[in-house]
Structure 1
Amino acid sequence: MRRLEVINGAGGRRRWSADEKAGIVAETLEPGAVVSEVARRHGLTPQQVFTWRREARRATLADVVEGDDRPAFVPAVLEVPPPSEPKKPRRRRAPAPRARRSAAPIELEIGGVVVRIGPGADAATVAAVIAALRTTS
């Protein structure tokens, strides 16, 4: 005799509601939580849970910046300094160490307020400042 397995019910992919996903993601953010354990408990792979976490982070950042999921673009204004007189050649110095070099800052003007963003600025902080400026202008 051969063994035959009968599967009842709907097959295929499971559908998770936004509330269920949010609950599972929230479990992974608790102190001491291990993503693979949470995923196993819910019958998921850790990769799926990490994807949901990434999507939640992007959605949160989009809400802070724009208020919806569409990307926002602002016009960029470049100011080119006028050409200066040729300088006399100088001796070359050794290049400055990377830590001391400063990158050109990003400058935003929103509602008459100018914000300069230097290198190493935290994206979440910058997004919060932009959102605050937009609500006041």
Structure 2
Amino acid sequence: MDVIADDAKAGFRRIEVLTGPGRRRRWSDEEKARIVAETLQPGATVTAVARRWDVCPQQVWGWRRQAREGHLALVGNGRVPPFVPIVPASSLSVSSKGDEAARQTTKSATSTPCIEIQLAGAMVRVAAGTDGALLTEVLRAIRASAA
């Protein structure tokens, strides 16, 4: 009959070595964006990218959701997307071929302060006091329609 204590007399014991990060990591927004951008490449899977970066796939899915909601700016091909120049309405000029209606539009635009945003072939004039959430939804819709 075997005695349970005999196992303690053995010279070797089985141990399990856990590899991977031993502490909680902090990912910068640039690193998150790079990881999410990798998952958006053709043929890439979230699981494979997560394994390569030693991240839990659920974490990557969360970062993808943040990017989709606009809380995480994606960087494509290692480049930061360029900003659209802001042109004050007072510096806009009417072409010599413009008619009186175009001149009236420009005059009314210069009378109230606003920002003009050119995005995907569309011009959006934003007046002071515009709701930020509404503006965000409009810009997302314009960007999505261009893609």
TM over 0.5: no
Compare CA radii of gyration and give the structure with the larger one: 2
Question: TM-score scaled to structure 1, two decimals?
Answer: 0.39
Question: TM-score scaled to structure 2, two decimals?
Answer: 0.36
